[in-house]
Each structure stands twice: as structure tokens, then as C-alpha cells.
């Protein structure tokens, strides 16, 4: 039974008001499978070519899109150095702030002044809606400002695998704490992460752990901990309903500090012995008939670690996480060869390394299998990869925006991604987004007639009339500034290939290059006409005629590029 | 109106046309007959624009016969032998020997040459001059929309949010080749069905599958393309139109030929799209414009042969489909070429050049006078402009597409004096006497109305199929005043038909599609 009494009375209206896009789960009919290629490579270190194609492949999978600066950051690095670079964490971002006060609208958070963070404030009542959006904006801001590091993408990986729904939690400092906890542990130790997740106040509320007590056990978290977070529900996973109940009983007694629930400051989580079920917890043969001896008093808290030990002793946990990593970073389908050559050895490494995440990522990203050319372009971009990728590649963003404009900017990305089936902070269910788990379609879930149209319009708007920020601001790409960031803007072939390298999942076909060039050159056959136009622009800064000549060619060219099916791949 | 906001309400799904850029048609304020008639009149006619990319050498396309001696002096490297020229009976010009078909159209008053079209202060950059021709701006003016786009935007102000709708399901303009040109860019959004991937259009129309790589990526790409195709707002109507046409004339296997084949197919299939843009590239003939051994051969001759054969195939296909009276074609290029030729057997960027119009409705003949060439011409000399290109646009907008003077002016920013392009020399005995016979809705959807103007005798109105067989009698009698007849078409098979009104002195035809 859910019991979210702390939600304001007008919670439903607040949801209506602030949640601009109703949660949507896209559906898909699987197209026939026609490929014949198979990959046989495994985890041996990749020693093949390390040129820009391989570099781009790696970066596209670990970042949100790809920028010229990302490519430059690793241009001189070896593969090993690159992976090392990618697995380096940066300084944590400043916390989210009140970006929503607006006296003209009567919006005045009584507790938090404009520009100050709300993460230490008490429960905001009606203001939780605005704070929740502020949190989501913050997540998106971090994603778009990512350095050439895997950090932000790993936060998305964990958020999808171990999700909360921030609209359900509806207590934004707790949701912030959850994201902060994911950041802290993103390349750390998986077991530690799961322990912190179990005792995370947002999770205790979201999956009802705090309402799980010996009088009324709530199985919600005990179930998902096994089924979704650690072991999965693969063919060899046969934990039983009694196992779910036993796990739930182990977890009884862990509560949030209700007495100080609404107060400013950190919301404490503690073990409350009177709520704990002290009887022995017997598990099925799947867990080797393990018994967790019931403990009373404060000792009851120890049962949690015994439970986690049991889950992490099972080999399926490492296999499950490695499958999820594989599907997130490499390819949706795991055939027998991939299983034996990649998943099994990777899982062994994970287990023998005491569930340290970094060595597993390292092994995978350095492997022959990851760099196998057959894997290039074989994933469909999620909305984050598509939209935030465009945003980053084009160098979009308002110049010195006011707080309110900054809020609108990130909110417009938030709702646009929600329109495309991915509202960050609120996956459609505790299973995450279907594209990451739903057989047999997986990433095809991202593409429907509705979302593909939406993606196309996003591209068109950026190129032509401006990406919608709010009713006063529509922000077009500064295409000239974008081209200046490229290596060879004056050379039509190299310039288009560089754009293709960043944007398309597979190498640009010759006919595509020919078509793009035909647009860029207005049908002329002489490449030099573009070069002249570009240099005239560079040599005559501020001359509108030269600028327009270049833009009138670039716009339809880039539009065409964005509308290629290959631009949906990575 | 402000620039079109992308998502005015972020929460709404975007009810705007998708991938194709966008386009739409104005919703009549009320669905009165006159509204429908006006709309039908406005959309019944089609203008097909052929853009000759690169700057066509006008002096070697339409040769001023009275200037030949000077031309022999100043452009010896490319001059065409006089005896190769296709001389016209009524004007002192000779067409390039590759233009045999167009010459035959000329002789039938179905082909018109407009001499010396250009603009003041010629710009010699391909890019800039293309933009000027597409935008319809002054040469020193920077305009970010196209003249056609502005016209369409003015005619159909509800666009794009309210389109497509039940009253108008078809694209407003269609652009083949590649990319979305400035031509159809409206003040707020693109007014054309731009399928930015040209292969996609052929796929849609010819119903062919495109190959994807045999790889994991190819598998995903195939899926994405299927969904993209399903999401084309206008994909279905275009496909349906294409499917209605079972047989077409033979076209050359060239890019232009195939583009025109598709245009004809869509017109015959009942698409009410009034504007099409197709392209033929390669006119930037700085060198090797002609073969040294024979100036009637070479790159330019090949291009003009392609143009000639493609247009001729298009014209005969229009006749085969019964759409020949609805379509007018036009060629344009960003500039002509220099008077003085290059030793490399080519010509450099120039200024004014002739434009062509073709179709049953054009007046025909040569409009304008021959340029005057001095045998002392220096390398920098260029042909003077006689007609501003916007005069030609203003003329075709008003004489063919039915624009009134104010719409033409708002599309072109100024009021330009018209040139006579649409005349009645070829059409004077036309069976189509204005709106004397009109069927709507068309394509037929089960219940149509036939509207007939008065006639002074007993007439029959019959339905004739494309084999010339009478399929049905619809009406017989006198029509003393304007009359409307209900006509059930639900039993008809899909295809093209003619509604024919005949009497001793009356012959009216209206082409319909189901």
C-alpha cells in the first residue's frame, strides 16, 4: 500500500500544472530482422586502427552527442589514455537553485530566495512542483555541460536502471540527494551503490521502504531490489515469491525521520527496531536455502548487509548488470557468442573485482568487441543523445541568460525530450524506459511516427526559425560559429565529412556526400565556390551579404543532414 | 505575424506537418461554391519551374541572327555555325541545334522565348545571384524568403498549423532534386514539400525499397526509414496520386527526365499542387562548353539535348494524361554568360539571358528584342537587361496562377509591369472555355457536383474514359442559366476520366480523377 500522506492536498492539480507533458510510453511494432552479420570478437584489447572513426564511435556511446571539442580532447590520446580520460570524474556541479521565483506571477518561494539553492530547505508544499522542475533542469544542464567524460552518461545509466520518479517522490531535495548519490557512486562500487540506494530517502519513499514494517510488510522494494536492481529476471533467475517476502521482512524497520520530515536540512534515515521483523528469514534453493537469522534491537540493521551479501554472492547479479551495461553502451541483442565472449567474462571480472564498476567499463570500452566495426551506428539515439547531442554539437545556449531564461531554456529541452518519450527524472515505470529493456524492440522504441516527426521538427527549428525557448525567445543555431569550430570549414568535402562524423551513426555514403554538396554548392560542380564564399565571409566580418550567401547554403545542407535516417543512429 | 513559434505550448503534441518542411492550403472562410471555384481555379493550374544551375549561355541558346558577324568576332571559340541553327519563321533568332523539340513547340505557338531577362547591378557570384533569382529581391537587398514562398504564404495564411485539412490535402509546392531551396521559403516557414532526401521521393512515388547496409546499423536504419515514410504528412496523398497513373510516356533516363516524369505523374494523379521546382545542373561552362572540332557538340549541347528531350517527353506525357492545358513550364538560370568567349572553349559568368515558357497556354513567339553585340566588345562587357526577372514573375503569377495585382506586389515587394506570356494563340479553340464546365470535388469522392455555364443549344454531358469509351451519360438538355447537377461517382472505378459536354456548337471538357 502506498502512503504518500505528505503530498500536498492539491498534489494532483500541482502535477497537472507543472508536468507539461503527460508521461508517455512509446510503442512499436518490430520491423523484420534482416541482418546476416555476426560479431565473434570478445573482450581482448582492441589493437586495430585508432583513427577518428573509432574515436567518434567510442565518444558517441559514452557522451550525449559529439562535439568538435570532444574530438579534439582525445585526438592525440591512445585508446587506453582515452578510456582513462573518460572514466575521470570532474568537480561536482553546484546544486540546483531557485530559478522560478517570479513576483509578477505571484511566485515567491517563502523559504528560498531567487538564485539560492533549495536543497537544504524544508518541504516546499506547493513549491515542490517548481523545485522538481528546477531539479530536472539541473540534471539537463549537467548533461549539456558535460566534459569529455562518461560521468553524466553513467548517471543516466543508473537513473534508468535504479530509477525513482521525481513526480511521485515529490520532495525535490530528496530527489536531488538521489541524483547526487548516483554521481558519487557512478564509477564506484556497485554494492555500495545498492546499499546507499536502499537507504536513500527518495527511494524509501518511492518504493515504500519507509512504510515497510513488521505489522504491514510492503514488498515493493524487496521485489525490485531482486528483480530489477540486482538479479534481473533472466531465464536462470528463479527466486520465489517467498524470497520477495523474506527480503521485505529483512528490510523492515528502515524509515525516514518522519518527525523532522518537513524540516530544513538533511532528512535522516535510520533503523527503528520496533518496526523490524525479528523472525528468521528463509530463502529458497535459488539462494542456496540461505537463512538470515532474525535479530532484535539495533542488531536488526545488520540483516541488510547479510541480504546484500546474499544477492551479491549470486553470480546472476554480475551477469545481469553486465547485460544491462552491454545493452546501454554496445548493442541491444545478446546472442550466444556475445554471451560467452563478452557477458560471462565481464561478469567474472565484476565479481572477482568486488563489484567495482570502473574496471568493467574499462574492459568493455577497450575491447575488440566494443570497437568491432559491426557495432558502429547500431544503436538508435535516445532523446538525450539526439536532442542534447544536437544542442552540444551546435553549441546552442543563450548568452548570459537571466535565471528565468535559463530555466526556460532547460525546461524547453526537458519537455521536448518528454515529447519524444523521455522525461528525465521520471521514467515511465520502476523498470526504466522500455527502450533499454523491452524485448525484442529495445531502442526501436524511441522511433515512432510521432517522435520521428518531433525530432525532425526540432532539427528544422534549430536551423530555420529557432528552437523554442519561450514565447519571446526562439534560438536558432549560429551555424557560422558552429562551422568555425570545425577543422576545415572552407573545404566542402572535409567540412561535410566532419559534420557527418559527429552526427551520423555510420560513415557517410558517397551519394549522401554528393547530395549534400549539391545543396551546399547550389548545384555547382566547383568546390572552390564554397571556399571563396567562406573566405569572403571570414575576411569581411559583419558583412551581411557574405553571411547570407553562406547561410542560405548551409541551412538546407545541415537540414538535409539532420533528416537523414543515419542521424538517428549512433 | 511573428516568426512561427516552434512549440507554443510545450505540452501539446506538435500538430504541424513534419519532415517535409511544411505547406498547406487556405481554408475557405465558408464553403460556398464561389470559394470552392476560386480555390479550384487557383489550384487547377500548375507551373513547373526548371532551374538551369550554373548560368546558361543565352547567346548560344537563342542566337540573335542579326548579330552573327559580331558574334563571330567576339566569341570565336564557341560560336555555332549559322547553318546549324534552328531558325524561326517570325523572329530573327535561331535556336541551338540541340533544341529540335522546342523548335517544333515554337512552331506550334507552344514555346515562348523572353529575351534579355536579368536585373540591375548584376552579381556574378553563383550563390548570390541564385539567391537573388529565388528570393526575387533587388541585387543589393538581402531577403531570406523566396518569391514563390511569399506568394503561397500570402495565398494561404492559415499555413502550416491548419494543414493539411479536409479541403486541402495536397502539398502546396513540391521540390525535386535535393534540398529545400530559398524559392519556397516563406516569411515564416518553408512552403514546400521538401523531401530532403531525393531518393526518398522516388521511393515514395515508385514504391521502391532503398538498400541499407547489411549490418546491425543497416537493420536499424531500415526501421527508421519505414517509420519516416509512415510519418510523411503528405506521403500518402503523394503516393496515392502516383499510384493512380498506370502508364506514362517514355522519358530520357536523365535526372531532369526522371524529375519531370514524377511531376507529370503527380499532376495526372490529381494532386492539386500548383508549383513544382526541378533542376538541371552543369551550366557553369567556363571551359569545354563546346567541342573544338564541332561547336554544335560538347557539354552545353548535351545539357540542351537533355533539356529538350526531357521537356518533349513531359509535353507528350501531359497530352497522354490529358493534363496538357493545365501546365505551363518555365526555365530560369542565375545569369547568362559573358559575350566574349574563352580560349578554353567556354564562357565566363555573365548577365542577362533568355527565359523559356512552354505549354499549351503560352502565347508563343519571341518577346523582346535581340541583344546588340559590338564586334569591339571587351572581355568585361555583358548583355544589357531588357526585362527585370520580377516582371516575368509578376506576369506568370497574374496571368497563369490567377494572383491579383496586390498579391503579386506583396510577393515581389513592388509593382512590376507585366509581359504577355499567357495568350490565346494556341488556346483560342480550346475545348475548355473557362469555367463553363466544372466538376468538384475532384478527385471524385463519391458525390460530385457538375457546374455548367449557360449554353444556347441542347447538349449532352457524358463521361469518357481514357480509351475514349463512353462510360456514362450524365445530363442532356438545354442550360438556360448556370446549372448544377449532382453526380454520384461511387460506382466508378479508380482512374482518369473526361467529363465532356457536347452540342452542335459546344465542346467543353473537364478532366477528373477518381
CB pairs below 8 Å between A and B: how many?
194
Is the bond preceding residue A335 a cis peptide, omega within 30 degrees?
A: no
Nearest to A465 among B6, B218, B230 (CB): B6
* pLDDT confidence band for B13 (50 / 70 / 90): very low
The nearest alpha carbon in chain B to A28 belongs to B227
B447 strand-pairing partners: B488
Residue from B135, B159, B220, B281 to probe the interface with A (highest A Cβ count within 10 Å)? B220
Q: Which domains does chain B have, with CATH numbers?
A: 33-195+232-412 (3.40.720.10), 437-513 (2.60.40.3080)
The nearest alpha carbon in chain B to A564 belongs to B197
Nearest to B198 among A460, A461, A515 (CB): A515
H helices, E strands: number in chain A: 27, 6
Nearest to B215 among A37, A468, A522 (CB): A37
State the CB neighbour count (10 A cutoff) for residue B483: 15
Distances (CA, A) of A546 to A442, A492, A518, A521, B432: 46, 17, 19, 14, 49
Going along B17-61, which residue ranges are E strands?
Answer: 46-53
What's the rounded mean pLDDT across residues B34-47?
Answer: 51
Residues present in chain B in total: 514
- Whole-number percent of chain B with pLDDT over 90: 49
Among B113, B499, B505, CA closest to B332: B113
Render each residue's pLDDT in chain A as its tens digit; 570 residues. Answer: 346 788 988 998 999 889 888 887 777 766 666 666 678 899 999 999 999 999 999 999 999 999 999 999 999 999 999 999 999 999 999 999 999 999 999 999 999 999 999 999 999 999 999 999 999 999 999 999 999 999 999 999 999 999 999 999 999 999 999 999 999 999 999 999 999 999 999 999 999 999 999 999 999 999 999 999 999 988 899 999 999 999 999 999 999 999 999 999 999 999 999 999 999 999 999 999 999 999 999 999 999 999 999 999 999 999 999 999 999 999 999 999 999 999 999 999 999 999 999 999 999 999 999 999 999 999 999 999 999 999 999 999 999 999 999 999 999 999 999 999 999 999 999 999 999 998 888 999 999 888 988 898 899 889 988 999 998 999 999 999 999 999 999 999 999 999 999 999 999 999 889 989 988 998 888 999 999 999 999 999 999 999 999 999 999 899 889 989 999 999
- Grid coordinates in use for A272? 527503528
**Residues A220, A215: Cα–Cα separation, whole Å:** 15
Say yes or no for a CB contact (<8 Å) between B6 and A461.
yes
The mean of the pLDDT values for chain B is: 82
Is the bond preceding residue B39 a cis peptide, omega within 30 degrees?
A: no
Burial degree of B52 (CB within 10 A; 0-12, 13-18, 19+):
buried
Burial degree of A269 (CB within 10 A; 0-12, 13-18, 19+):
middle
Say yes or no for a CB contact (<8 Å) between B219 and A33.
yes
**Residues B29, B26: Cα–Cα separation, whole Å:** 9
Whether residue B470 contacts residue B462, with contact meaning beta carbons closer than 8 Å, is answered with yes
What's the rounded mean pLDDT across residues B78-100?
Answer: 95
Alpha-carbon torsion angle B381, B384, B390, B393, nearest 10: -100
- The interface predicted TM-score (ipTM) is 0.91
Please give the DSSP secondary-structure letter assigned to residue A335.
-
Q: Does B179 touch chain A (CB under 8 A)?
A: yes
**Residues B1, B487: Cα–Cα separation, whole Å:** 42
**Residues A503, A68: Cα–Cα separation, whole Å:** 11
Burial degree of B41 (CB within 10 A; 0-12, 13-18, 19+):
middle
Whether residue A198 contacts residue A209, with contact meaning beta carbons closer than 8 Å, is answered with yes
Please identify among residues 274-333 of chain B the ones whose CB lies closer than 8 Å to any CB of chain A. Answer: 279, 281-282, 284
Strands A269-271 and A254-256: antiparallel
Using the structure block, give the residue that is written with the C-alpha cell 531518393: B199
Using the structure block, give the residue that is written with the C-alpha cell 572540332: B293
Partners of B224 on chain A (C-beta within 8 Å) are: 380, 447, 452, 565, 568-569
Q: Is the dihedral of CA B103, B108, B109, B111 positive or negative?
A: negative
| Packing angle of the helix pair B126-135, A528-539 (nearest 10 deg) | 90
Whether residue B375 contacts residue B407, with contact meaning beta carbons closer than 8 Å, is answered with no
Residues present in chain A in total: 570
What is the DSSP secondary-structure string of B466-486?
A: TTS-EEEEEEEEEE-S-EEEE
Q: Does B127 touch chain A (CB under 8 A)?
A: yes
- Tell me what pLDDT residue B10 has: 24
**Residues A459, A567: Cα–Cα separation, whole Å:** 11
Summarize pLDDT for B14-31 with one digit per residue, the tens: 222 222 222 222 222 222
Summarize pLDDT for B175-193 with one digit per residue, the tens: 886 666 888 888 777 777 7
Q: Does B113 touch chain A (CB under 8 A)?
A: no
Among B22, B25, B16, CA closest to B161: B16
- Grid coordinates in use for A531? 571556399
State the CB neighbour count (10 A cutoff) for residue B69: 9
Residue A86 φ then ψ, to 5°: -70, -30
Partners of B51 on chain A (C-beta within 8 Å) are: 523
B357 strand-pairing partners: B112, B330
Whether residue A241 contacts residue A223, with contact meaning beta carbons closer than 8 Å, is answered with no
Least confident of A45-59, A412-426, B143-157, B207-221: B207-221
User: How far does A159 lie from chain B, in Å, by closest CA?
Assistant: 24
Summarize pLDDT for B361-379 with one digit per residue, the tens: 898 999 999 999 999 999 9
Is the bond preceding residue A440 a cis peptide, omega within 30 degrees?
A: yes
pLDDT surpasses 50 at B164: yes
* pLDDT confidence band for B426 (50 / 70 / 90): very low
Strands B46-53 and B387-388: unpaired
Among B402, B397, B389, B291, CA closest to B346: B291
What's the rounded mean pLDDT across residues B339-349?
Answer: 95
**Residues A323, A347: Cα–Cα separation, whole Å:** 9
**Residues B470, B462: Cα–Cα separation, whole Å:** 7
Whether residue B74 contacts residue B372, with contact meaning beta carbons closer than 8 Å, is answered with no
What is the DSSP secondary-structure string of A401-467?
A: --HHHHHHHHHHHHHHHHHTT--TT--SSTT--GGGT-TTTGGGGG--HHHHHHHHHHHHHHHTT-E
Q: Does B231 touch chain A (CB under 8 A)?
A: yes
What's the rounded mean pLDDT across residues B260-280?
Answer: 91
Partners of B54 on chain A (C-beta within 8 Å) are: 523-525
The nearest alpha carbon in chain B to A508 belongs to B213
User: How far does A549 lie from chain B, in Å, by closest CA?
Assistant: 6
Say yes or no for a CB contact (<8 Å) between A524 and B281.
yes
Provide the CA B51 distance to its chain's centre, in angstroms. Answer: 10
**Under 8 Å CB-to-CB from B491, ≥6 apart: which residues?**
none
The nearest alpha carbon in chain A to B18 belongs to A453
Partners of B14 on chain A (C-beta within 8 Å) are: 419, 453-454, 457
Using the structure block, give the residue that is written with the C-alpha cell 546476416: A36
The nearest alpha carbon in chain B to A21 belongs to B11
pLDDT surpasses 50 at B7: no
Burial degree of A388 (CB within 10 A; 0-12, 13-18, 19+):
buried
- Grid coordinates in use for A279? 523472525
Partners of B129 on chain A (C-beta within 8 Å) are: none
Q: What is the 3-state secondary structure (H, E, C) of A338-383?
A: HHHHHHHHHHHHHHHCCCEHHHHHHHHHCEHHHHCHHHCCCCECCH
Nearest to B223 among A412, A444, A556 (CB): A444
Say yes or no for a CB contact (<8 Å) between B142 and A544.
yes
Among A548, A498, A545, A551, CA closest to A520: A551
- Tell me what pLDDT residue B199 has: 61
Whether residue A442 contacts residue A160, with contact meaning beta carbons closer than 8 Å, is answered with no
Is the bond preceding residue A236 a cis peptide, omega within 30 degrees?
A: no
Partners of A419 on chain B (C-beta within 8 Å) are: 7, 10, 13-14
Say yes or no for a CB contact (<8 Å) between A31 and B14.
no
**Residues A3, A469: Cα–Cα separation, whole Å:** 37
**Residues B252, B254: Cα–Cα separation, whole Å:** 5
**Residues A273, A248: Cα–Cα separation, whole Å:** 15
Partners of B279 on chain A (C-beta within 8 Å) are: 523
Using the structure block, give the residue that is written with the C-alpha cell 475557405: B28
Q: Is the dihedral of CA A120, A125, A127, A133 positive or negative?
A: positive
- Grid coordinates in use for B57? 549561355
The nearest alpha carbon in chain A to B4 belongs to A465
Partners of A376 on chain B (C-beta within 8 Å) are: 217
Please identify among residues 331-360 of chain B the ones whose CB lies closer than 8 Å to any CB of chain A. Answer: 334
User: At B305, is the secondary structure helix, strand, or coil?
Assistant: helix
Provide the CA A346 distance to its chain's centre, in angstroms. Answer: 22
Partners of B130 on chain A (C-beta within 8 Å) are: 522
Nearest to A552 among B5, B131, B224 (CB): B131
Whether residue A143 contacts residue A184, with contact meaning beta carbons closer than 8 Å, is answered with no
Between B4 and A570, where is the model more confident?
A: A570
H helices, E strands: number in chain B: 12, 21
- Grid coordinates in use for B97? 541545334
- Grid coordinates in use for A416? 521536448
Partners of B164 on chain A (C-beta within 8 Å) are: none
Largest Cα–Cα distance of chain B, in whole Å? 72
Angle at alpha carbon of residue A214, lines to A209 and A219, rounded to 5°: 40
Among A382, A408, A388, A228, CA closest to A317: A228
- Grid coordinates in use for B370? 535581340
User: At A256, is the secondary structure helix, strand, or coil?
Assistant: strand
User: At B19, is the secondary structure helix, strand, or coil?
Assistant: coil
Say yes or no for a CB contact (<8 Å) between A518 and B14.
no
Please identify among residues 195-224 of chain B the ones whose CB lies closer than 8 Å to any CB of chain A. Answer: 196-199, 213-224
Amino acid at each position: 500500500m502506498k502512503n504518500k500522506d505528505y503530498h500536498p492536498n492539491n498534489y494532483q492539480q500541482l502535477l497537472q500544472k507543472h508536468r507539461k507533458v503527460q508521461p508517455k510510453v512509446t510503442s512499436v511494432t518490430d520491423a523484420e530482422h534482416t541482418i546476416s552479420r555476426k560479431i565473434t570478437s570478445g573482450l581482448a584489447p582492441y589493437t586495430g586502427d585508432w583513427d577518428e572513426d573509432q574515436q567518434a564511435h567510442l565518444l558517441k556511446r559514452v557522451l550525449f552527442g559529439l562535439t568538435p571539442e570532444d574530438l579534439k580532447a582525445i585526438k592525440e590520446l591512445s585508446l587506453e589514455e582515452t578510456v582513462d580520460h573518460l572514466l575521470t570524474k570532474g568537480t561536482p556541479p553546484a546544486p540546483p537553485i531557485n530559478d522560478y521565483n517570479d513576483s509578477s506571477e505571484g511566485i515567491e518561494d517563502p523559504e528560498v530566495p531567487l538564485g539560492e539553492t533549495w536543497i537544504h530547505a524544508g518541504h516546499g508544499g506547493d513549491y515542490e512542483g517548481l523545485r522538481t522542475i528546477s531539479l530536472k533542469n539541473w540534471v539537463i544542464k549537467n548533461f549539456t555541460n558535460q566534459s569529455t567524460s562518461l560521468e553524466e552518461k553513467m548517471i543516466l545509466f543508473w537513473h534508468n536502471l535504479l530509477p525513482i520518479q521525481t513526480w511521485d517522490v515529490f520532495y525535490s531535495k530528496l530527489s536531488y540527494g538521489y541524483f547526487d548519490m548516483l554521481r558519487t557512486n557512478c564509477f564506484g562500487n556497485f554494492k555500495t551503490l545498492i546499499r546507499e540506494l536502499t537507504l536513500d530517502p527518495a527511494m524509501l519513499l518511492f518504493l515504500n521502504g519507509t512504510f515497510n514494517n513488521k505489522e504491514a510488510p510492503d514488498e515493493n522494494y524487496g521485489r525490485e531490489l531482486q528483480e530489477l536492481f540486482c538479479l534481473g529476471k533472466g531465464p536462470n533467475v528463479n527466486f520465489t515469491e517467498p524470497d520477495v517476502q523474506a527480503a521485505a521482512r529483512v528490510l523492515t524497520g528502515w524509515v525516514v525521520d518522519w518527525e523532522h520530515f518537513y524540516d530544513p536540512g538533511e532528512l535522516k534515515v535510520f533503523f527503528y527496531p520496533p518496526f523490524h521483523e525479528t523472525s528468521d528469514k528463509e530463502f529458497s534453493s535459488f539462494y542456496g536455502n540461505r537463512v538470515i537469522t532474525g535479530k532484535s534491537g539495533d542488531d536488526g540493521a545488520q540483516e541488510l548487509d547479510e541480504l546484500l551479501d546474499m544477492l551479491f554472492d549470486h553470480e546472476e547479479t554480475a551477469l545481469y548488470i553486465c547485460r544491462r551495461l552491454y545493452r546501454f553502451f554496445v548493442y541491444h541483442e545478446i546472442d550466444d557468442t556475445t554471451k560467452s565472449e563478452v557477458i560471462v567474462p565481464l561478469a567474472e571480472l565484476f565479481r572477482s573485482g568486488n563489484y567495482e564498476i570502473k574496471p568493467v567499463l574499462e574492459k568493455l570500452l577497450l575491447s575488440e568487441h566494443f570497437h568491432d566495426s559491426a557495432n558502429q551506428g547500431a544503436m538508435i539515439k535516445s532523446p538525450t543523445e539526439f536532442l542534447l547531442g544536437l544542442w552540444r554539437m551546435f553549441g546552442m545556449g543563450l548568452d548570459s541568460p537571466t535565471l528565468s531564461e535559463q530555466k526556460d531554456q532547460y525546461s524547453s529541452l526537458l519537455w521536448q525530450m518528454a515529447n519524444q518519450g523521455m522525461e528525465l527524472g521520471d521514467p515511465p515505470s520502476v523498470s526504466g524506459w522500455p527502450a533499454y529493456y523491452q524485448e525484442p524492440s529495445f531502442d526501436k522504441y524511441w522511433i515512432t511516427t510521432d517522435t520521428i516527426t518531433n525530432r525532425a521538427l526540432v532539427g528544422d527549428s534549430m536551423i530555420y526559425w529557432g528552437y523554442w525557448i519561450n514565447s519571446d525567445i526562439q534560438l536558432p543555431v549560429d551555424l557560422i560559429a558552429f562551422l568555425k569550430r570545425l577543422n576545415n570549414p572552407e573545404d566542402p568535402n572535409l567540412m561535410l565529412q566532419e559534420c557527418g562524423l559527429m552526427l551520423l551513426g555510420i560513415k557517410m555514403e558517397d551519394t549522401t556526400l554528393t547530395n549534400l554538396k549539391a545543396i551546399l554548392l547550389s548545384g555547382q560542380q566547383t568546390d572552390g565556390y564554397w571556399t571563396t564564399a567562406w573566405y569572403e565571409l571570414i575576411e569581411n566580418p559583419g558583412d551581411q551579404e557574405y553571411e547570407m550567401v553562406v547561410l542560405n547554403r548551409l541551412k538546407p545542407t545541415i537540414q538535409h543532414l539532420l533528416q537523414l535516417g543515419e542521424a538517428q543512429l549512433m | 505575424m511573428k516568426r512561427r513559434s516552434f512549440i507554443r505550448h510545450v505540452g501539446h503534441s506538435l500538430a504541424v506537418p513534419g519532415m517535409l518542411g511544411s505547406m498547406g492550403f487556405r481554408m475557405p472562410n465558408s464553403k460556398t461554391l464561389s470559394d470552392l471555384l476560386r480555390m479550384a481555379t487557383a489550384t487547377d493550374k500548375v507551373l513547373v519551374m526548371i532551374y538551369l544551375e550554373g548560368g546558361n549561355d543565352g547567346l548560344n541558346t537563342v542566337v540573335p541572327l542579326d548579330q552573327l558577324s559580331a558574334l563571330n568576332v567576339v566569341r570565336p571559340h564557341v560560336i555555332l555555325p549559322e547553318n546549324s541553327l534552328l531558325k524561326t519563321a517570325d523572329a530573327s533568332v535561331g535556336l541551338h541545334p540541340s533544341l529540335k523539340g522546342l523548335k517544333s513547340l515554337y512552331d506550334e505557338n507552344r514555346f515562348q522565348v523572353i529575351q534579355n531577362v536579368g536585373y540591375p547591378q548584376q552579381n556574378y557570384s553563383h550563390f548570390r545571384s541564385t539567391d537573388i533569382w529565388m528570393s526575387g529581391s533587388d541585387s543589393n537587398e538581402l531577403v531570406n524568403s523566396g518569391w514563390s514562398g511569399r506568394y503561397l504564404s500570402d495565398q494561404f495564411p492559415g499555413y502550416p498549423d491548419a494543414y493539411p485539412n479536409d479541403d486541402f490535402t495536397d502539398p502546396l509546392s513540391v521540390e525535386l532534386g535535393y534540398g529545400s531551396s530559398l524559392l519556397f521559403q516563406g516569411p515564416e516557414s518553408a512552403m514546400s514539400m521538401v523531401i530532403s532526401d531525393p531518393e526518398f521521393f522516388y521511393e515514395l512515388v515508385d514504391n521502391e525499397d532503398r538498400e541499407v547496409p547489411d549490418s546491425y546499423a543497416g537493420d536499424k536504419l531500415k526501421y527508421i526509414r519505414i517509420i519516416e515514410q509512415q510519418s510523411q504528412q503528405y506521403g500518402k496523398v503523394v503516393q496515392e496520386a502516383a499510384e493512380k497513373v498506370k502508364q506514362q510516356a517514355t522519358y530520357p533516363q536523365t535526372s531532369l527526365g526522371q524529375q519531370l516524369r514524377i511531376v507529370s505523374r503527380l499532376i495526372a494523379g490529381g494532386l492539386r499542387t500548383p508549383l513544382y521546382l526541378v533542376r538541371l545542373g552543369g551550366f557553369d561552362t567556363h571551359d569545354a562548353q563546346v567541342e573544338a572540332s564541332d561547336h554544335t557538340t560538347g557539354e552545353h549541347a548535351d545539357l540542351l539535348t537533355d533539356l529538350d528531350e526531357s521537356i518533349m517527353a513531359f509535353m507528350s506525357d501531359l497530352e497522354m494524361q490529358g493534363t496538357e492545358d493545365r501546365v505551363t513550364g518555365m526555365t530560369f538560370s542565375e545569369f547568362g554568360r559573358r559575350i566574349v568567349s574563352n580560349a578554353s572553349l567556354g564562357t565566363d559568368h555573365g548577365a542577362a539571358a533568355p527565359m523559356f515558357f512552354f505549354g499549351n497556354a503560352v502565347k508563343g513567339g519571341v518577346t523582346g528584342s535581340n541583344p546588340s553585340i559590338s564586334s569591339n566588345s571587351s572581355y568585361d562587357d555583358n548583355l544589357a537587361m531588357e526585362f527585370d526577372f520580377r516582371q516575368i514573375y509578376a506576369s506568370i503569377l497574374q496571368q497563369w496562377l490567377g494572383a491579383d495585382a496586390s498579391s503579386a506586389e506583396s510577393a515581389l515587394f513592388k509593382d512590376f509591369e507585366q509581359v504577355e506570356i499567357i495568350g490565346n494563340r494556341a488556346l483560342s479553340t480550346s475545348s475548355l472555355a473557362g469555367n463553363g464546365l466544372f466538376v468538384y470535388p475532384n478527385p471524385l469522392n463519391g458525390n460530385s457536383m457538375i457546374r455548367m455555364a449557360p449554353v444556347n443549344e441542347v447538349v449532352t454531358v457524358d463521361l469518357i474514359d481514357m480509351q475514349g469509351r463512353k462510360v456514362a451519360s450524365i445530363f442532356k438538355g438545354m442550360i438556360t442559366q448556370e446549372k448544377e447537377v449532382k453526380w454520384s461517382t461511387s460506382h466508378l472505378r479508380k482512374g482518369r476520366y473526361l467529363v465532356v459536354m457536347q452540342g452542335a456548337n459546344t465542346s467543353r471538357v473537364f478532366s477528373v480523377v477518381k
